Structure 1
Amino acid sequence: MNNWQQGWWLPARRTDSPNFAPRENGETVSLVVLHNISLPPFEYGTGAVEKLFTNRINPAEHPFFSVIHELRVSSHFFISRAGETVQFVSCDDVAYHAGVSSFRGREKCNAFSIGIELEGCDFEPFTDAQYQSLNTLLRALAARYPIEAVTGHQHIAPGRKSDPGHFFDWERAKEGGIAIVH
């Protein structure tokens, strides 16, 4: 069964982000970068991540939002605490998730990676539902794209980023069938 259509994974709920660019001709997706996010910080299930990635965050809703409301960021996927997977950007396009980054000496990881945000923070474990959804997604990505590795934002932007954090269980992510590099 083909679960893909123009870079969109059909089992995910689709919510289009305007924050993307076409991949350069001939660019191959070879890396998955894992992140964590919670908005407001340390709060879950608020819908604010979706608003951030679709440029609809209201700076008046929370003091932190006044700091980030002008950011134009995105990720390909977001996995909620309950395990729901939402896709914001086609995997055939570039999402704005990695920023200044380098993997195996190659700069600008957005160009050749897929970003997955897990709802969470650096200070507590992720849920069983998130690992199940993540591994299902990783297997689907590996079947569709020549993914060589899965790594964390903390590994491609050391000193600048700390996610997915100390509580992320890399052993559980190996069930997705792609080499883990950190």
Structure 2
Amino acid sequence: MSRFVVASLDAEGFWPLAKQIDSPNQDERPSGTLIDLVVVHSISLPPGVFGGPQVQQLFTNCLHPDEHPYFAQLAHLKVSAHFFINRNGAVTQFVSTYRRAWHAGVSCLKTVESSRERCNDFSIGIELEGTDSSTFSDLQYEAIASLAQVLHRAHPIAYWRAHSEIAPGRKTDPGPYFDWDRLLREAQIPGQMRP
């Protein structure tokens, strides 16, 4: 049984069960935008190291580039995601789902019906603490399944994609160890939402 009482997004687009930390890396979506895509990412800072504050620091422009050699290449980035789920399944929300988080970069959603660029405009980004070469925890699947149910009630979500699927050749996350079938089953997401 889930430890989450799923609840709903509030009127401002925040999930009350998530810790709220405001990221400056966000802006308004284009007027009239239909939010119908969820993009799943993975991140760890430094790569392969879990449990530290560095992801939060990156999303709030507080990452110290001298703390680790890898961080120097991130110093200029202004990025965020709507949600971050750590290895223990704790969820942090950085951006309202009604606003545009800066998570997808140069991207394109290709479906049978169309091809749409600038996925940040119409998507919600979920970052899982992890790497392309590691499995994700049971607690992370529990959290993302609960969050998925909340998002489907609040927005007309029609598509779930990996970051690698909307930015092929540029991104590889969340990698081959993310279990899409498990997410779809546990969140009761219709299979046609995946390619």
- The alignment's TM-score, normalised by the length of structure 1, stands at 0.97
- What is the CA-CA distance between 1:178 and the residue it aligns to? 2.8
Match of 2:30 among 24, 42, 46: 24
- In structure 2, relative to structure 1, the CA distance for the partners of 1:2 and 1:79 (3 Å cut) is closer
Match of 1:35 among 41, 64, 70: 41
Contact 1:148 / 1:178 at 8 angstroms: preserved in 2? no
| Percent identity over paired residues | 47
Contact 2:37 / 2:160 at 8 angstroms: preserved in 1? yes
1:100-179 aligned within 5 A: 100-104=106-110, 105-174=115-184, 175-179=186-190
Match of 1:96 among 102, 105, 123: 102
Where do 4+ consecutive residues of structure 1 move more than 3 Å? Answer: none
- In structure 2, relative to structure 1, the CA distance for the partners of 1:48 and 1:30 (3 Å cut) is same
- In structure 2, relative to structure 1, the CA distance for the partners of 1:6 and 1:100 (3 Å cut) is same
Contact 1:149 / 1:178 at 8 angstroms: preserved in 2? no
Tell me which residue corresponds to 1:181. 194
- What is the CA-CA distance between 1:110 and the residue it aligns to? 0.3
State how many pairs are aligned.
182
Instruction: Give 5+ residue unaligned stretches, structure 1.
Output: none
Contact 1:76 / 1:115 at 8 angstroms: preserved in 2? yes
- What is the CA-CA distance between 1:140 and the residue it aligns to? 0.2
The letter of the residue matching 1:24 is P
* 1:95-133: CA deviation from partner (whole Å, max 9, x where unpaired): 000011111210000000000000000001000000000
Instruction: Judge which range, 65-74 or 132-141, deviates more.
Output: 65-74
Contact 1:150 / 1:178 at 8 angstroms: preserved in 2? no
